Chain A
Amino acid sequence: MPEHQRRVYNRLAVLRAERGLSRKQLADKLGINYQTIGYIERGDYNPSLELALTIAELFRLPVEAIFGFKPMTPLSEEIFREPPPGIR
């Protein structure tokens, strides 16, 4: 990845494992090469906006649930996280 690019973290590997998809199967659904999935998962390649949105659409999740600038926390932790004080 070029040095001027910001690192984009993702939980693609977790989502893929959750749905029992191999890299090849996911790549075929997205119309890309299976190596590209591996490079995205490893953070070596930042997908285009189009590809990121297509991935989000495929997993039926908002794009920010899959990609972000901060390291991803486990989804279970986010679901069961205590709300900040003052918010019910």
Chain B
Amino acid sequence: MSISISKVEYLPRSRRRLLVTFALTGYPVAVAVLAGLKHTSLNRWLIVAIFLALLLPTLASLCVGYWYARGRIDGRRARLDERDLVLRQQSYALSHRVLAAVLIVAAAITEVYLTSGNTLRLDANTVVPAMLWVIVYIPALPSLMLGWIETDQPAEASQLADA
């Protein structure tokens, strides 16, 4: 999926939603694959290559999501009108709901895992991926949610971009 930087603003919602889904699921999938392959006899460099192949498109999707919402989520655009402010508020509200859902699901999975007689060792292998998730996703969530909720731009606006 190739996207020119100048066209990011005019991406249709279906494509934006695909990118958001990819951005949100790519990292957990990459970490899970890495954890699964680590104890196999597979070549170490091949494992790293698979991990990067999953991670780099995720990072690219995150960048597109950030670029789409740039200046609107952080309020750095000189003139945010009332629709921008409403969208920003909706994006933050949706981010909060998504974050709450992720935390509840993670807590539930951990609870089930621990009550099934398993033990969870807190070391760099478990804490670092979780920390990276927090560092990467918490700041990016509102931008991604804006890309998720905003409807397609009206025709005339897209034509202006083509001119």
A2 to B89, CA, bound (A): 13
On whether the beta carbons of A38 and B154 are closer than 8 Å, the reply is yes
Please give, as numbers and ranges, the residues of chain A lying within 8 Å of B120 by CB-CB distance. Answer: none
Q: Is there a chain A Cβ closer than 8 Å to B83's Cβ?
A: yes
Chain A interface, number of residues (Cβ within 8 angstroms):
21
Q: Is there a chain B Cβ closer than 8 Å to A20's Cβ?
A: no
Task: Annotate B78-115 by CB proximity to A: 1 below 8 A, 0 otherwise.
Answer: 01011110100010000000000000000000000000
Closest Cβ of chain B to A18, distance in Å, is 16
Please give, as numbers and ranges, the residues of chain B lying within 8 Å of A24 by CB-CB distance. Answer: 160
On whether the beta carbons of A32 and B82 are closer than 8 Å, the reply is yes
Closest Cβ of chain B to A9, distance in Å, is 16
Please give, as numbers and ranges, the residues of chain B lying within 8 Å of A31 by CB-CB distance. Answer: 79, 81
Contact of B81 among A23, A36, A38, A44 (CB under 8 A): A36
Interface centre among A33, A34, A44, A50 (most CB of B within 10 A): A33
Please give, as numbers and ranges, the residues of chain A lying within 8 Å of B6 by CB-CB distance. Answer: none
On whether the beta carbons of B83 and A39 are closer than 8 Å, the reply is yes
Task: Annotate A36-68 by CB proximity to B: 1 below 8 A, 0 otherwise.
Answer: 101101101101101100000000000000000
On whether the beta carbons of A23 and B82 are closer than 8 Å, the reply is no
Q: Is there a chain B Cβ closer than 8 Å to A25's Cβ?
A: no
Task: Annotate A64-80 by CB proximity to B: 1 below 8 A, 0 otherwise.
Answer: 00000000000000000
On whether the beta carbons of A32 and B81 are closer than 8 Å, the reply is yes
| Minimal Cβ-Cβ distance residue in B for A48 | B82
On whether the beta carbons of A38 and B84 are closer than 8 Å, the reply is no
Please give, as numbers and ranges, the residues of chain A lying within 8 Å of B82 by CB-CB distance. Answer: 32, 36, 47-48, 50-51
On whether the beta carbons of B156 and A32 are closer than 8 Å, the reply is no
Contact of B83 among A2, A36, A42 (CB under 8 A): A36
Please give, as numbers and ranges, the residues of chain A lying within 8 Å of B154 by CB-CB distance. Answer: 23, 35, 38-39, 41-42, 44
Please give, as numbers and ranges, the residues of chain A lying within 8 Å of B153 by CB-CB distance. Answer: 35, 38
Closest Cβ of chain A to B148, distance in Å, is 14
